[in-house]
Amino acid sequence: MINFFELDIRRAACHGIDPKKTGLEHATVLVDNQLCDLPQEVFELIKDRLAKAAERETKAFQLEIDHTNQGSFFGLCRDLKNQSDDVFLNRSQEIAHLLAEAQTKNTIPGGNLLFFEAVDQRGRTAYVAIKAETLFALRYEIINNQSKVRMIQDLFMSQTQKMYKFGIIYERGEEEKELYKDQLEENYEFGCFLYDDQFNVGSKLAEYFYKDFLGFSIDANPKIQSKKFYINTENFIKSNLDTSAEKEELLKVLKHEFLNHDETDKITPRDFADLYIHEPEVNSLYHNEIAQYLPEVIMKDPSLIKNNLQRKKYAFPNDIVITGPNNTFDINVKILQSMDDLKDVDFSNRDYTIVKILGKPEQEK
């Protein structure tokens, strides 16, 4: 991966993105016909923002280049380092139009697209596309001995303003290439990286940005695919197994796949189904509805499902929830399901609290 602090800027361009309006197919571009002057202190600030963002493991992802045609983001960047400034500016405008064309919903905000070319200390080139939403702010000033508060418009990438995304394509070094020698040429020669500040563990990455605009694929990213396997399998278990006991047991097995570090560092969804889902019809349903939409083999990375693994929860009707640490939950909480269970309760034992809750609990979440 590129070290942001080693980057030196070569050239940059900035274009405005006006959000999609009713009656139009997509957003529009407010083109700048000149290269953008980024003073050194501005570039140092941007590098600092990018470096800190890249460290946030739940919002930053190593992906793969998928779209490689001449008019794609990768295609426009691939041979750009040997081109003139005029070509660079024209390509930056084409890239801005790519982003605008990807924004086909009125709900996707506009902002600024900052595109720059940089080189690291080893001579490797990187291309960075930052989409930063704009905001309004107030500034207090004293001008000619008179106090004033004025509005600053179109402020972006401030320290507190986090609504931005960026994608990077960079040349791999020789050592890094060794790790990707089995990849197609594009992903052997180049790496790509995505940061999306508005992504959280309960949401999905913005497809319009990483897929439609940048042309990246999430299929090989361990964090994303581990989460996809876990959540989809969890929901399948809750919906398709017959008894509470079966659901409970298989949910424990699912967690064990990620919690037991002595196991393999890979998951094969089809093997998981064949090993643990024994009812033929349910097994076939899992293969058809879940496994076929996942990679054949997934490298385990629980970064996006840590809360699911560390917490256990029972949800009752009327918004009543019991939750606690996964590793001690079954010791501290027991649901009584028969008169025999009730006979074992010592009502004089003050170490316990006995609670009656209306309704049946949903399975663990």
CA distance 62 to 220: 9
Q: Is the pLDDT of residue 319 over 90?
A: no
The arithmetic mean of pLDDT across residues 336-350, rounded, is 77
Using the structure block, give the residue that is written with the tokens 């045609």: 69
Listed range (24-28, 55-59, 119-123, 151-155) with the worst mean pLDDT: 151-155
- DSSP code per residue over 30-45: E---S-----HHHHHH
* Model pLDDT, residue 184: 78
* Model pLDDT, residue 53: 82
Q: Is the pLDDT of residue 152 over 50?
A: no
Question: Which run of H or E residues covers position 222?
Answer: helix 222-240
The answer to whether 111 and 134 are in contact (CB under 8 A) is yes
* Model pLDDT, residue 21: 93
The model's pLDDT over 206-259, given as tens digits with 9 standing for 90+, comes to 899 999 999 999 988 899 999 999 999 999 998 998 888 888 899 999 998 888
Q: Which of the two residues, 162 and 188, has the higher pLDDT score? A: 188
Residues β-bridged to residue 169: 127, 192
Question: Which run of H or E residues covers position 113?
Answer: strand 111-119
* Model pLDDT, residue 215: 96
Question: Which run of H or E residues covers position 328?
Answer: helix 326-332
Mean pLDDT, the chain, whole residue set: 85
CA distance 249 to 360: 18
Listed range (5-19, 56-70, 135-149, 291-305) with the worst mean pLDDT: 135-149
Distance of CA 137 to the CA centre of its chain: 28
Q: Which of the two residues, 364 and 294, has the higher pLDDT score? A: 294
The model's pLDDT over 7-44, given as tens digits with 9 standing for 90+, comes to 898 999 989 999 999 999 999 999 999 998 888 888 88
Q: Is the pLDDT of residue 143 over 80?
A: no
The arithmetic mean of pLDDT across residues 159-176, rounded, is 79
- Give the Cβ contact number of residue 6 at 10 Å: 14
pTM higher than 0.85, yes or no? Answer: no
Q: Is the pLDDT of residue 334 over 90?
A: no
CA distance 59 to 221: 12
Q: Is the pLDDT of residue 71 over 80?
A: yes
Label residue 270 exposed, middle or buried (CB < 10 Å: 0-12, 13-18, 19+). middle
Label residue 260 exposed, middle or buried (CB < 10 Å: 0-12, 13-18, 19+). exposed
Nearest Cα residue to 309 out of 361, 261, 263, 365: 365
The arithmetic mean of pLDDT across residues 152-169, rounded, is 65
Tokens for 103? 């924004």
Q: What percent of the chain has pLDDT over 70?
A: 88
Tokens for 134? 């704009």
